[in-house]
Amino acid sequence: MLFYLIILVVTAVDQITKVWIRSILKVGESMPFYKDIISFTHYQNSGAAGSSLQGSARYLGILAVVIIAVILYYRKKGSFEGFFKECGAAFFVGGAIGNGIERLLFGKVTDFIVFRSGHGVMNLADLAINLGVVFFVLDLFLSYRHKLLPKEKKFQ
């Protein structure tokens, strides 16, 4: 149940924030959000992360559908058991759905979160996908650590 709740919340919040940004900012317009660390600037990205593969949004949308289907298939087979894998898969799928909706409907994705460091522009779906990857890596680390511990020191 948590799996589907995360997907629903991530997708809904992502879509709401994108509609909000499109309604208050013209493309290229900015507004401060958190001190000098984060600002919101409205961008339309027809490619992938880092503005690579420009003009490929529809193909990337189809790829997102395939990836979502593969994750759901393997989840049904029991490949994503455990809290971190389950949450990682849910955040990843929620983010992929959020960006996939825009890619398939509009041929581009609304990006708006800009960090002062100047390293890229993203949206909440991108953050969710990254969080999903963090959960997967954390699960790998904990699984590996668990295998290395002597039997008497393993956590139950």
Evaluated on CA atoms 138, 139, 144, 149, the torsion sign reads positive
Closest CA to 39 of 114, 110, 118: 114
Which one of the listed residues 14, 36, 111, 139 is annotated catalytic?
Answer: 111
Q: What is the CA radius of gyration of the chain?
A: 18
pLDDT at 61: 82
Active site (annotated) includes residue 14? no
Q: Tell me: pLDDT of 154 over 60.
A: no
For residues 86 and 94, give the distance between their C-alpha atoms in angstroms, rounded to a whole number.
Answer: 12
Q: What are the structure tokens assigned to 26, written together?
A: 């013209």
Question: For the segment 7-43, what is each residue's pLDDT rounded down to a tens digit?
Answer: 999 999 999 999 999 999 999 999 988 888 889 999 9
In this predicted model, what pLDDT tens digit does every residue of 64-120 receive, in sequence order? Answer: 889 899 999 999 998 888 899 999 999 999 999 999 999 888 889 999 999 887 777
pTM to 2 decimal places: 0.84
Q: Is the pLDDT of residue 51 over 90?
A: no
Rounded Cα gap, residues 114 and 65, in angstroms? 27
Cα–Cα distance, 79 to 73 (Å, whole number):
9
User: What values do phi and psi take at 41, rounded to 5?
Assistant: -130, 125
Catalytic residue among 14, 36, 126, 139: 126
The reply to whether 111 belongs to the active site is yes
The owner of tokens 């969080």 is 131
- What is the domain partition of the chain in residue ranges? 2-146
CA 62 to mean position of chain CA atoms: 16
101 neighbors 114 (Cβ within 8 angstroms): no
